[in-house]
Amino acid sequence: MSGYGKERIGWLSRMLAVGMVLWLWAGPLWAQPHEERPDVRVVVDVSGSMRDNDPDRLAVSALDLLVALLPSGARAGVWTFGETVDNPLPLGEVDAAWREQALALPPALRAYQQYTDIEAALNAASRGEANGWRHLVLLTDGMIDLSPGRGPKPDIDRASRRRLVEERAEELAEQGVAVHAIAFSSEADLALVERLAQSTGGLAALAESPEGLLGAFLDIVERIFPADQVPLDEGRFVIDDGVETFSALIFHEPDDEPLTLIAPDGMRYRAEDAPDDIRWQAGSRFDLIRVPDPQAGEWRLDGAVGEESRINVASPLHLRTADLPTTLYRGFDVPVEAWITHDGGPFEGGEDLALSVTLQDAQGEVQSRVVLEPEAGRYRGRLPAPALTGNARLVIRAESEAFQRQRAQAVNVLPAIGAIHRPQAGRVVLAAEHPGLNRDNTEIHGELQGERLEAEAVGETRWHLALPDLDPSLSLPLLLEATVELDGERQTLSLPRLVLHPDGRLGIELADVAGPTLATETLADPRGSDAVPPPEVGAEPAADRFVAWVNRLPEAARALWRAGWPGLERLWHEHRRDPRLWGALAALLLLLLVIRLIRRRQARRPLRREEPHV
């Protein structure tokens, strides 16, 4: 058997089984009345680069999972793209026939094409009206690679990327299109994936494993089709009289002991002896337990309960929220509005009702919290500004003596202003991530070794901060601060610390350093034990780097020879400040000088004729 082999087929089959189970779990509970029925349009990358960046065929299982998670009655379709864009499953209502067609698509997802036109794919999938928002779920390695027949490369690739980021993303948002982007490789253009999601109100994630994939899709589906849950705390959850059905999706490790569900009256249930009205499916990594007409009171789970576990409930009571942002910004408060409805109408009897909002990191640790205040039948408040960046979750919880409800929504937390060091140009480039910041209301300055440096605006939302001449062997932290005047308020933002020349052998005051991009970092305090170690600990010695660089010179020389003078000119501009270049040139000159001396000495040596031996 060729392709991904029997092992990968078995893995995909297990993931498909998980997906179908999730559909049974999610469908009835997410099928709550909505004034709008959003479209879900899956856009799958089938370019050649996906063959390398998605070796486990996560894109195939991703489609299976999402198809299984979609509630019946929703509208959905599937597009594939490489050099061209196809629509193997047209937009239609999700029912049994639609699911059957979708599950027959995997061969089309392995018909790889040579190039990658993300721009054309998004344009094609976003066409057509919808009864609500159009949610594009983009599955890609995020690398734009257009055919050379369309123009000189890499200019055409850069132009397409620029159109997507600077023009098309904003147009999609205005047209009611949200792009949820999932990258399947850390080698992907993660910045593009993040920007598409950020600009259109979608979610961005990096999924390099089945677990990461499952979590990403649960986050997306819960964003599109919010569901009521009850809190699950250390294996315990409370069911009130109004709950008609609950479904417990419990994740665990393959070697964990079987789960036991304990009812409020002490009755114990296990998968092998559960009564007929309790639907229980036990898997190697999860258990799904669906209980109709459950007893009121505290239920318990005896066994391992993973972090992604959750309890969905169906009842006349619904927790509602105003639109929650998918992207939060460090340093900016988050306004939140929530309320309770009963059978779609106002909820009466909420004298003891309390609503709160927490921001949790990927490990479930609370980063900030606020209690919402009642106001004209609803509850409002402002969540304190996030202090850290990364993937996080907003949890809105309603509690009273009679019931508990909560909703969890995944969010991305970004710095309000992004910064990147351009050592060849001798400056730091800054760009506003927050949509409300621009050159007219924002001033930025930095502090480097006690010297204050002012940033100069070079565009509506871009600044340049010129740097003094620096020793590239020395790593230095640059402190960045912005003064912002927005909505009549003036505030000072401390931006993430930027390390200049992080590969330098010597590091000065590197206890707090800027982390990687959003798609690959978690909400961890960079000043804690997980901080990036000083370069002298993790970086290879300068002598080793120099030898490796010299060893690469022959191949680089051949590439430059093919590129001609422009290649040499590019090398000069990129590395003229690199001491390794000057060291290599000195070594080359010394080698040429030695060779010349040897040849001259050989030329002066008198010829001696040796007589043959008898």
**Considering only 94-103, 401-410, 430-439, which range has the smallest mean pLDDT?**
94-103
Same domain, 75 and 140: yes
pLDDT surpasses 90 at 122: yes
What's the pLDDT at 440?
A: 95
**Considering only 21-25, 289-293, 363-367, 509-513, which range has the smallest mean pLDDT?**
509-513
One-letter amino acid at 556 equals A
CATH number of 117's domain: 3.40.50.410
pLDDT surpasses 90 at 301: yes
Same domain, 410 and 429: no
Q: Return the C-alpha torsion angle 549, 554, 557, 558, nearest 10.
A: -140
**Considering only 116-120, 204-208, 507-511, 579-583, which range has the smallest mean pLDDT?**
507-511
Domain boundary among 504, 524, 559: 504
pTM for the predicted model, two decimal places: 0.70
Q: Could you please report the per-residue DSSP string of 430-479? A: EEE-STT--TTTEEEEEEETTEEEE-EE-SSSEEEEE-----TTEEEEEE
Instruction: Establish if 214 belongs to a structural domain.
Output: yes
What's the pLDDT at 135?
A: 94
Same domain, 255 and 343: no
What's the pLDDT at 90?
A: 92
Instruction: Establish if 93 belongs to a structural domain.
Output: yes
Instruction: Establish if 574 belongs to a structural domain.
Output: no
Q: How confident is the model at residue 295 (pLDDT cuts 50, 70, 90)?
A: very high
Of all residues in the chain, the percent with pLDDT exceeding 70 is 72
Question: Which residue segment(s) compose the domain that 408 sits in?
Answer: 317-414
What's the pLDDT at 551?
A: 42
pLDDT surpasses 80 at 22: no
Same domain, 386 and 304: no
Q: Calculate mean pLDDT across residues 451-476.
A: 91
What is the spatial distance between Cα 282 and Cα 270, in angstroms, rounded to a whole number? Answer: 10
Q: How confident is the model at residue 543 (pLDDT cuts 50, 70, 90)?
A: very low
Domain boundary among 477, 504, 531: 504
Contacts of 220 (CB under 8 A, 6+ apart): 66, 135, 137, 180, 203, 410
Beta-ladder partners of 380: 337, 373
What's the pLDDT at 584?
A: 61
Instruction: Establish if 490 belongs to a structural domain.
Output: yes
Q: How confident is the model at residue 370 (pLDDT cuts 50, 70, 90)?
A: very high
Are the C-beta atoms of residues 396 and 407 closer than 8 Å to each other?
A: yes
Same domain, 408 and 422: no
What's the pLDDT at 518?
A: 33
Same domain, 147 and 94: yes
**Considering only 25-39, 178-192, 512-526, 564-578, which range has the smallest mean pLDDT?**
512-526
pLDDT surpasses 90 at 263: yes
Residue 589: Cβ within 10 Å count: 10
Q: Higher-confidence residue: 294 or 352?
A: 294
Q: Higher-confidence residue: 146 or 595?
A: 146
Tell the burial category of 303 from Cβ atoms under 10 Å away from its Cβ (0-12, 13-18, 19+).
middle
| Digit-coded pLDDT (tens) for 430-449 | 999 898 999 999 999 999 98
Q: Calculate mean pLDDT across residues 280-295.
A: 86
Token pair for 371: 């209690």
Question: Helical H runs in 31-57?
Answer: 48-53
Domain count, the chain: 4
Same domain, 116 and 202: yes
**Considering only 50-59, 278-287, 456-465, which range has the smallest mean pLDDT?**
50-59
Q: How confident is the model at residue 193 (pLDDT cuts 50, 70, 90)?
A: confident
Q: How confident is the model at residue 68 (pLDDT cuts 50, 70, 90)?
A: low
**Considering only 32-36, 192-196, 217-221, which range has the smallest mean pLDDT?**
32-36
pLDDT surpasses 80 at 594: no
What's the pLDDT at 599?
A: 60
**Considering only 12-21, 192-201, 477-486, 519-528, which range has the smallest mean pLDDT?**
519-528
What's the pLDDT at 13?
A: 42
Same domain, 343 and 242: no
CATH number of 247's domain: 2.60.120.380
Same domain, 251 and 374: no
Q: How confident is the model at residue 244 (pLDDT cuts 50, 70, 90)?
A: very high
Q: Higher-confidence residue: 537 or 579?
A: 579
Instruction: Establish if 552 belongs to a structural domain.
Output: no
| Digit-coded pLDDT (tens) for 341-363 | 998 888 887 788 999 999 998 77
Instruction: Establish if 579 belongs to a structural domain.
Output: no
Q: Return the C-alpha torsion angle 82, 85, 88, 94, nearest 10.
A: 110
Q: Higher-confidence residue: 513 or 247?
A: 247
**Considering only 230-239, 357-366, 598-607, which range has the smallest mean pLDDT?**
598-607
What's the pLDDT at 232?
A: 94
Domain boundary among 481, 504, 527: 504
Instruction: Establish if 251 belongs to a structural domain.
Output: yes
Same domain, 244 and 102: no
CATH number of 500's domain: 2.60.40
Closest CA to 447 of 511, 503, 494, 505: 494
Return the SS3 of 120. helix
CATH number of 373's domain: 2.60.40.10
pLDDT surpasses 60 at 196: yes
| Digit-coded pLDDT (tens) for 211-231 | 777 778 888 888 888 889 999
Same domain, 52 and 171: yes
| Digit-coded pLDDT (tens) for 126-161 | 998 877 889 999 988 768 999 999 999 899 999 999
What's the pLDDT at 285?
A: 74
Instruction: Establish if 77 belongs to a structural domain.
Output: yes
- What rounded mean pLDDT belongs to the chain? 78
Same domain, 233 and 218: no
Q: How confident is the model at residue 603 (pLDDT cuts 50, 70, 90)?
A: low
| Digit-coded pLDDT (tens) for 170-190 | 999 999 999 999 887 777 788
